[in-house]
Structure 1
Amino acid sequence: MSGRGPATSAGAPSSGGGRGRGKGRGRGGKGRGRGAGDNSKPGNNDKPNSKKGDKKGGRGSGNRRNRGRGRGKAEPSDSSDKKQAVVSPEEKKAEEERIKKEEEDKALAEAEAKRLAEIQAEVDRRAKLQKEYDTSVNTAIDTLEQYANTSKLHSEIRSQLDPSTGALTQERKDFEKKKGKSDLKKCTAFVKKIKAGTYPTTEELSRPNSSIKSLNLTRYVEEVAAALLEPATKVKQSDVPGMTMVCVEMHRRYDSFLGALVPGLMAEINGKGNDGLPRRICFRLLTEFLLHGVLTDPKPIVKVVNDAAGVPSVEGKDYAVSDANLIVTLAKCGGNEILGVVPKSIQCELNKLKREVDGKGEGALILLETSTPASEEAKEGEAKPSVEISAPFQVTLSTKLRDKAQATIELFNANVPFSHAVAPNITSTLHKHCIGAYQSLANSYVSTHVRLGKLEKRCEQDRLLQGTLSEAREKGLADARSLMESLTKTVQTLSEALDVTVPVLKEESAEESEESTKGIELWTKSGVDGDEKLGSFDDEETRSFYCDVPDLLSIKPPALLGINPTDLEAQKEKNSRKYGNGDENVELGDIAAEVEVGDETMAKDDDVVDDKDDDKDINGSEAKDDVTEENKDTPHYKLMVLLEQELPETSRREAIDELADRFCSNHGSNRKSRKRLYETLFLVPRTRLDLLPYYSRFACIMDRVYSDSTLVEELERQMHGQAIHKKNQNIESRLRTVRYVGELTKFRVAPPMVALRGLRRCIEDFSGNNIDVACCLLESCGRYLYRTKHTHAKISELNLDERHVSMITSAFMMVNPPAQSGRQEKEVPPLEAYLRYLTMSRLDADEKTVAFVSKQIQRLPWSDPSIDCGALVCKYMLKACRKGRYRATKAVGMLAMNLKRTKPEVPARLVDDTLEEIQWFIEHPSFRDSQRTLVSARLLGELYTHGAIPSSIIFDQLLHILNYGHDIPDALRHASENQELFAPRGNISQTIIEDEEL
């Protein structure tokens, strides 16, 4: 350091424009000053030589031009001009906080906007629901008002036109005194207007200057009647009210008008008129005349109804409806005033309004409470529904709408029940005829539906067979559908008007559909239960046993099997028809075919030819047996061992397949050996029923290779032969035979008709042993036949002592057991699922496990107000005691004690729930809940053992159990209360002193 002056430290800050001084020789004599607040640290734009200068005694960090000896002023560096001011950590932190706050404000604004949008959507939805509700209530009010006002109007007009009161006669006299205008032009114009179908409305007729009121139409009465009967245009149903009011006003003023009009209407109805008005319009006019009091005699209407409904001459017979349109017209127009029945729709609207007014409907009744009657709220009379999202929404019935509905109900009750246009006996007669006609039409409606379904299926079959339908068939189908539509409309209209129930149309069952099918049929596997892949079996293992049979023709050489190529192809074709490919369904032709019995003579001849060779072999082997006592290498001995020793001991699928393979390879080419095999398969011991499935599988393998099997023929012959001899001693043999036939049927070796014929023979004489045989046959192959499409219909078409009834029931349950739905597991939230795992699976009565479970429970979201963790924990702790392991009760007690310090609510809840459950059982004793209550009592004891509850709770509960359900004498109660039961005195416990008299 000699010769060098002190230099400015690189780490010392200098003022903003300050200078750095330094002494020294050579390099580093001058140093440049740093800006304000700038610390010279590595990485802050310092060059490496600055550090070097610092270490060697004042080597400056300035440029080389200013370096030198001596003292000098340090000038600012060029790099300092380009350098930006460095941000302090406080400013950087403040900037980060500002950005974070802006993001939070933005997120809050978005959340608020989303919340407001949800609120607005909810408000719109509620407003829409409220509007729909108000509209429905207003519609009901309008409907009832219109019906009640119409009934009221009819009553008023009837009272005005009633001849018995004399008001009608007086009104006619007053009209004659007025002397209306008899202007030819105006009267003719009025008649032409009526004939053109332009009828005045009710408002026009009520005016004082209306044509009917101002004109004198005495000379034109017949012309007006003729204009009504023969209009120039087609009259619609909507024109009838106007025509009716014209007739009412004409009848009010002219006595001869009704006599000129009614005969013409009756002639049109009876078909003797000029075909001016349709029958329905004419009959409706007559009905309206009766409702308005224009027509006082109901006999014409009763006569028309009798003819249209086809009233039977004998009581109890069906009605023969000839014109349903007239019945519909009377039912719709007559209503309560003629038939005494309020339409169903009107009753529904009335009941709806009553429920709403009583506060039992969809809307909540709102009653506005106001301080003074003159307040603004009382004037408005409206209530605004709540828009709180969390609050449940219910449409409201305002006071104004409620008052309107109440007034409508009162108007209806004041007019409709008391408005009658005819006498009660006429009402009952017409109502009876209408109901009878409806029942006749309803029966025709149901039968037409059935016939239409059959016709559609027949036409569909013709389409499949011929590709198209003939014109006659298409026309018949169209007419049938048109008739069905007309009947549907008529029945529904009458049902609504007469307030009766529409008959339910029944669809054709699957069995009837299968029986009625002919020709080509597309099988969709509907109507047969079970999985499609399993076919006629219940599970994959069973299906594999009966269907997955080895095909030796494809894995063995034909020469080894003793089959020539021609017979090989024929046998493969037969197998394809009979067994199909794998487990697929085969056609009905070969399945349901009868057992073919070949030409026995040809078979015997073939056997004789082949038997000669066989006899040579057998005789040769017998000669060898004579020479040597026992030669185990001969084919005869091997066949004997296979049939007599190995075959009866086979009880596995693989073993029976291996035996069949060995037989076909070693002995299959010999007809004598095959015959001996079939005899062995036939002579199964009646006590070895377990061998039948395996013997049947052996026979199935052989049947796929050789076509000379006689096993099915022999079994069928034996089955029918045993049925002839009705003896109890051969019941076991009969059961073995039918079970054998059933197994062969499932292997498709025996056609289903073999089993069905045996079943039919038993059912024809369904008594005694035949019941046992039939049940055994159904238990063996009934389920298979039921689930096979081609035999499903026959097997499903299937009174006695208790034993036979139970056997039939057992057989039926084997064939068609009830469907068992899989157990549905309850879906619980993840938190509850985890609690269930902790308490019911993980929890055990050791301290380590209890500590782990306790820690996990303490980590639950206890601070979340939406989740009641205490209740959930208590719930699953109780469940662990009830449904868990035996040691769970002790573990729950330990867990409750661990949680008492951190979560005291858990043991408190647990004790409360346990005591409540014990109390419930005491008050409602049930054998079903006894074990559950014992668990609760044990849990209470475990809680006391681990110190979770004091002993007072135990003793109080014990005394409560002992004292509950009976009265305690007062003397004994006082004696027990006055003594301290559990206070020891001198190592002697005091006892309860009872009164001897008690």
Structure 2
Amino acid sequence: MTGDHTNGSLKTNSDTAELKDENEKEVSNADEEIEEETDEARREEEEDKQKKQALLDYIDELVKKDKRRQDERAKNINVKRPEESYFSKLDSNLKKNTAFVRKVKNFSSAQLNGLLNDLKVLNLSKYITEIASAMTEAKLKVADILPACELCCALHRLYADFENALLECWKKSLTIKSDEPVANNLKYKIDLKLYAELVLLGLWAVPPPSRGLQLLGSIIISLVHNQREDFSNISPILSFCRSFGEVYAGLVPREMAEASKKFGIAIPCMTIIPSEKHKTVRQVFQDYYDSFCKHLIKNHNELQKFEKQSRTILQTKGELSANRKAEYNDLLTEYRKLLDYARQFSEILNVPMPVLPVEEVAKSETTVIDELLLSHDERFPLGIWEDEETQRFYESLSDLHVFLPQLPIDAAKQKRPSISEISEEILDEEIELPAEEVEEEKKVELEHEVEAVGDTKTKYIFNDFLVHLPSCCNRDTVDNMAIEFVLNLNTKHNQKKLAKYLFGVNRTRLDLLPFYSRLVATIHPVAPDVATDLCQMLKQDFLYHVRKKDQINIESKIKVVRFIGELIKFKMYSKLEGLFCIKVLLQNFNHHHHVEMVCNLFETCGRFLFNHPESRQRTKVYLEQMMRKKSVMALDSRYATMTENAFYAVIPREGGQTVKKERPPIHEFIRQILYHELSRQNVSMVIKLLNKVDWNDPDISAYVVKCLVNAWNVKYFNIKTLAGLVADISRHYERIQIEVVDGVLEDIRLGLEVMQPKYNQRRIAMVKYLGELYYYRMADSCDILKVLYLLISLGVTFSYTNVSPLDPPGHTFRLSLVCVLLETCGHDPYWSAENPFPPRLRHMVRDCLLSVRPKMIIFHDYAESQEAVEELKKHFMSKVETDVNPAPSNVGELNPIEEKEEVEFVEGNDDEIDDEERDSSDEESQTFEGGNPSSQSQGEEIPIISESNESENSSKVQCLQKVKCQEDEDFMNAFDKLVADQIQDRMRERITPQQIDIAVPLHVHANTKKTYEQLKETTEETSTVNFILMIRKGNKHSYKSLNVPIMSELAINLKEQEMLERMEKEKVKKLTLDINERLEEEDYQDMMNQSQRPTVSNLNRERRQKYQHPKGAPDVDLIFGTSKGK
């Protein structure tokens, strides 16, 4: 009781603690939600305060601007200019006045005070026009607008002619023609702002119809209506609306209007321009905005159309030309600029943005690649990697910040090797360099590499580090080596030496390439030169091998491309350059080394490039190009298989990954010992293990029998061992023998009925298994004979009209099964003379027959076999002619079918058959003594067959005796004479070729000629065809015209024949021209190759031979010289 009470109290305390924890969690969650709501409310409150303050600042600025303009406007309207005597007292110096005009022309806000002081001392009455022109020509900035307005107001208050002169200058400067765009948008925008500000300040307000406002209206109208094709005037219009929209059109920005509505603070209206004019100006801007939106939508549709075309080109060719890329960039830049203008205009006018239609991609476009990629992505949900382990190997690199805290955080994201920043054009230029220059560049780089002299201890450590690199066989070892290099060996010299060592990896150690690439990627944040130098060396080596085009060093070439593929997956090598390598190799695909290189490159990084969005299109195009070249070119079977394997390594078949069937452990154990561990050496061990199986369990025993029946899962040379295992187990479990043999016979019958090529190996294995079971006396000879008869008779038809689906005329696989069964357990005659055997089957049948009957004579054709039959007939007739006198009544009993059976069974003379029987009986007795369990059945059956054949042959030969008579000889002589006469008559006849087309005589053509007037007349289409009919009467020929309907069979056949002849002539002509063009191209290519070969100068050119005097009398003058007297 105490224990129960204690347990109850403990349980109650634990429940209470759990409830308490749950309550605390709920309270904490509620507090967090309250805090989040409070923070959100606080943020909203702060945003509202900021918006309200911005609205108040905006209103305050509007009020200040309006007050300043009103004050200046009142001064300019109510101006009181000085009298003429005032100007006479001022300085009228020419030099000072021209300097003033020059300062105005180069006006800036810093010069305002100086110019105002000059106005007080200079008399500028004669320079008002020059000053007004200089003011309109000045290149001002936005900050100079208000100081310029102040200077203009000062001039206006002193000189009455200034406003008219300035207005005329502004009219010339701001008025634009309808067909001309604005020359300088930046200056025009500032000038328009300056003029609009002067209008508001009242320079031209008197008289009441303001001339300045009218000119401003005409300028705005011309800007709005001109250049509607490209809307190039939108920039000055936007600038004007942004600066003076509140005054001239009553425009309020969207943000301020929403804040005013939200907080209930009214925005004051400007009173300088009447409110009734605001609507007119606003409507002008609204119409212009609507037109601009239509232009934006048109531009948007053009851009989408161009993108659609580019998408189609990418799907077909895999890349875009440089011109098309530049055109797309121009269109995109223009579209973005227009879109930005539309947003600004929409914000100023407080109207919604236009709805830009998004064109949906049609299904016909997506089926080319997108559906393929969709099914591919469904099979590989991890993206560019096929499994998580591969993804971790190529992406989860060691974090160097743990070992190097001083390393910058963004070091891992720093710029990749500069080799990736390259374009297709640069690569095309590099590929054109000759191979000799590349080799020289490599030698020069190696010669100029100076080895630094450092610490000897460090040098030994680094050499030891390099020695241990080839032992890196897993990810952890490589990461440890990378960390060791970063901590202790990271110098410029060691980086170069490491890159050179990695590049020189043994060409047979392809297993090290992934780990070396991971090493380079791991140390890249702190040693980027290793990746740069290694990529550069691999690139040069690749180009060298491509240009060299030799038939050696295939292992080095494969090493280079596989190293490049591994670096691409670690993003150390540019994907663009990887695709370019594939492109270069595909251009010369007839070179066998290039086939192997591109296949290895696809197998290494093809799936990565195909799954990556940036390179997916081009990779697919290159794969399709490779498969097209493989189907068109006559590649060797090895290279064709290699190409298919590379393709399916990138894009696996639709079947996807195979799912292993889950089986109970006992089933896996049985399959393991029977299918994988069974051999001739350990058969006793397997038997012991099978005897330990629970044979009383029906499920287990049935599964063991099933595994014993399925002999195709065992290796072919172990089938005999499996049959011996069945024989041994059957001694303990008799039912195993019956079930296994029944299962084998059923499988053989099923294979005959299904007849699919994919089961051929299985059928051979089962027939072999049946023969081995017969060898171990598990099957009876009757079963073997039934199977042999089944193989040669099931579904066989002798009618050529009704083709059997179980045994078509060209199907010879059953003969292979018969040969396998006979080679395993014996022989039974099988004869077929319909079609010649394939060479492989003919040799197989011959070997099979010779192995069973070594002395058998095998005939090669029907004539030889017929001669042998005739000789056998004579042999038998000589034996029975003395004993039996054939009766005439028996002649009618002869049957040609029995003759055929006789030919089938008789294969030699009687002595040969007796010799064969003796030889076979001797062989069987020897085999029986050696332990062959099937020798007894073979020895019993063969002599019986030969004796029955002999008796049948003797009886049939008696009926085949021929009686000669005189009538037969007379008939044959007459027949031979008749045939000879016919042959002589045919030889005398003159053989002439059959003439299909008969030429029409000339006099008939002469009657059909037309005059010039008849030819000029337009002939209407007739529904008949004119033929010339030749009629023969006696020895005379007459011709008549015959009009045959054009739809008659005669006319149609004639036209079809003419058309076929014409097409045949065109085909022959085209083939001839193609052959000539190809020969010309080959000659031209040979000529170009010979011209491009470097000319080799012969340094050992021929020297002039020394003069050799002919034999005869010596030349005295040459020996002793000429005398001076002469």
Q: TM-score, normalised by structure 1?
A: 0.32
Task: Considering Cα pairs closer than 8 Å and 6+ residues apart, tell me whether 1 or 2 has the greater RCO.
Answer: 1
Which has a greater percent of helix? 2
Q: TM-score, normalised by structure 2?
A: 0.29
